[in-house]
Amino acid sequence: MEDLTPRFWEVFWEVFGSLPRQGPGNRASAVKALAMCGELPEQAAVLDLGCGVGGQTLQLAELVSGHITALDSHAPAIESLEQSVVERGLADRITAVVGDMAQPGQDQESFDLVWSEGALYSIGLSNALKVCYELLRPGGYLVFTDAVWRKDNPPAAVKASFDLDYPSMGTLQDDLTALSTCGFELVGNFTLPDEAWWDDFYTPMEARLAELLPQYADDPEATAVLKQVAEEPEMHRRYGEYYAYEFFVARRPL
Ligand SMILES: C[S@@+](CC[C@H](N)C(=O)[O-])C[C@H]1O[C@@H](n2cnc3c(N)ncnc32)[C@H](O)[C@@H]1O
């Protein structure tokens, strides 16, 4: 996606930056994954990698005690999260930082829980797993979501779409193998339910697109970006059975 123009990213963020989340996920799934972290300390040190505007970070602050460091490489996303943190009086619970998860600038073995929804793939899953392993204390939990193929031979349009953003996307078994190769113990995994794609993500995305398309009617470049973004929920409606988002809960051995 590196050859996309600055204008593309500007319009893209006008859509995505306004959404509660920048990827699929919901509170019920976070609650389910957290319930699998049976030995999390009461005051857990949590790191949310690729937090976006912090949809899941703010939920985590309600669901776990302790401090959350939320990191994303996109400065406007972190500014948005900082604003939400102040508005909700959570400044003592959440620290939002601009950073690269490949070199997160956090102490090794300093977190009880590393959380990441739809973001680890950005630096290659195996590479990201190594980074997470080193950040976790022995016995610490890694909870993340990742897109996986559910069926062989996806339609060309679906394959082409994932090839743009996640060309190395594998199957559930590929991710389980990557976890075990990195030294993690699998606690469990489950597939995100369909509502987790819609409630906080595609439904508000389509509403935002409906708002912006008339505003940009005289701007062919922006209109083209908006139409490209609109293909994603449409693809999910038609071909969602070919891929899934899987929630993984794994543990660095004690
Ligand atoms: C699909 S979005 C998911 C955001 C959020 N976790 C959510 O589910 O709403 C992926 C996020 O990862 C961030 N990201 C991509 N590469 C990154 C990197 N190397 N370091 C930190 N964040 C990164 C992007 O800026 C984006 O906010």
Q: How many residues does the chain have?
A: 254
Q: Which of 15, 22, 60 to mutate to test the pocket of ligand 1 (most atoms within 8 A of CB)?
A: 22
| Host H or E run for residue 238 | helix 220-239
Nearest CA to ligand 1 atom 27: 52
On whether the pTM is more than 0.85, the answer is yes
Residue ranges of the chain whose pLDDT lies below 50: none
Distance CA 206, CA 227 (A): 11
| Host H or E run for residue 33 | helix 27-35
Q: Compute the distance from residue 72 Cα to the ligand 1 centre, in Å.
A: 6
Q: Compute the distance from residue 146 Cα to the ligand 1 centre, in Å.
A: 12
pLDDT single digits (tens) 130-182: 999 999 999 999 999 999 999 999 999 999 999 999 999 999 999 999 999 99
Strands (E), 122-242: 136-149, 185-191
Which CATH number is correct for 22-159+166-194+241-251, 3.40.50.150, 1.10.1200.10, 3.40.309.10, 1.10.10.10?
Answer: 3.40.50.150
